[in-house]
Amino acid sequence: MAKGTRKLNELVSKLDIVVEVRDSRAPASTSSPLIKALAKIKPVIHVLSHKDLADPEKLSLWLNSLKHTYAADLRKREGLAAIRKAIMKFKPQHREVRLAVVGIPNVGKSLLLNSLIGKSSASVGNIPGITKSVSWYRNEGMLIVDSPGILDPHAEEGAHLILSWLGCAKADVVGGWENAAVMLLKYLDAKGFGCFVPVEHIDGEAPVLTLERIGRKYGCLIQGGKVNTELAGYKFIEAFSTGRLGAVCLELPEDIPAINFRDEAVEIV
C-alpha cells in the first residue's frame, strides 16, 4: 500500500481529475483507502461497476444519494458514454485531459481503464514534467495513467468480509474460505436473503451444517464421503460473487453514517 500511495502522490498534481471505481453491490465497503485524500486535491467522479450484479432498486438508492456517480456494466460497455462525457468536462483547451483510474483490486478498474484506453492505444513515454515511473496511455483526447489496486490493511473485519464475498480480497484475511462462507450464510440469514443460498433453508440450522449441505450439492467430497468445507466455501462464494445466485446489494446508504463520496472534496460544477 505504501509503495502504491507514494507513486500516486507523485503524479496527482499533474492530473485534472481522478476516476474511482467501486462495486455496485457494496459502494461504501469497496471505496479506495486513498480517495478521501485525493478528493481534497482533485475533482473525483465515481463509477459503480458490476451494475448487472446489483439489485436494481437498491442500486438506484445509492445513485440518488450520491453525487457525480455513474453505474456501469463495463463488460458490456453500458454506461461508458456517460463516464466519458463526465471526464471530458475537465479537458483543458490546450491539451488532453489527464486522469488516473483508481480502485481496490477486482472492482473493475482494469475493465474501465482498458475501455477508456481502447485497443489501438499505445503506452506514452517521455512526457516533459510528468512522472516517468508509471504507465500513461493516450486515446481520444485523454491521457490516462494506471494506478495499483490498493486495499486498506487497517479496515475493520466486517469490511474485509464483504470484500472477500465479492472477490475483492483473499479469504486468508478473514480465516479462509470456510470461515468466509459461514459468515456469509449468517449475513444472508440475518438479512432474509435466503434466495442466495443454493440449498433448501432449514430453520435453526447452524451455518456450518448448511455449508456441508452446499458442499454435497457442489460435489466437494473427500475420502469417506465427508465434505471438504474449505472447498465448499470457495465454490459457494465464487457462485455468489459472480452473480450466479442472483443480483444483490450488501449495503444501503442508510446503513452507512454520513455518506458522502466528496468529503471535504474539490467542488465539481
How far is it, in rounded angstroms, from Cα 94 to Cα 143? 13
Kind of pairing, strands 69-71 and 123-124?
Answer: unpaired
The listed range with the strongest mean pLDDT (39-48, 106-115, 155-164) is 39-48
pLDDT at 40: 87
Q: What cell does 146 get? A: 494506471
Q: What cell does 185 get? A: 450464510
Q: How far is CA 170 from the centre of its chain?
A: 14
Q: Average pLDDT in the 166-184 region?
A: 90
Determine which of 151-155, 177-181, 222-226, 264-268 has the lowest per-residue pLDDT on average: 264-268
Confidence of residue 140 (pLDDT cuts 50, 70, 90): confident
| More reliable by pLDDT, 4 or 106 | 106
How far is it, in rounded angstroms, from Cα 148 to Cα 130? 18
Average pLDDT, the chain: 84
pLDDT at 60: 96
Which residues, including other chains, have CB under 8 Å from residue 31's CB and lie 6 or more apart? 20, 22, 104, 261
pTM for the model stands at 0.84
pLDDT at 87: 96
In sign, the C-alpha dihedral spanning 26, 66, 45, 261 is negative
Q: Is the pLDDT of residue 155 over 90?
A: no
pLDDT at 261: 44
Q: How far is CA 3 from the centre of its chain?
A: 20
Confidence of residue 118 (pLDDT cuts 50, 70, 90): confident
pLDDT at 173: 79
Determine which of 63-72, 168-177, 194-203, 224-233 has the lowest per-residue pLDDT on average: 168-177
Q: Average pLDDT in the 98-114 region?
A: 88
Q: Is the pLDDT of residue 88 over 80?
A: yes
Q: Which is nearest to 16 in space by CA: 91, 83, 123?
A: 91
pLDDT at 119: 63
- For 24-67, how does the pLDDT look when each residue is reduced to its tens digit (9 = 90+)? 999 999 988 888 888 888 999 999 999 999 999 999 999 998 88
Q: Is the pLDDT of residue 6 over 90?
A: no
Determine which of 11-15, 58-62, 112-116, 160-164 has the lowest per-residue pLDDT on average: 11-15
Confidence of residue 131 (pLDDT cuts 50, 70, 90): very low
pLDDT at 138: 86
How far is it, in rounded angstroms, from Cα 12 to Cα 32? 15
3-state percent breakdown (helix, strand, coil) of the chain, nearest 5: 40, 15, 45
pLDDT at 258: 47
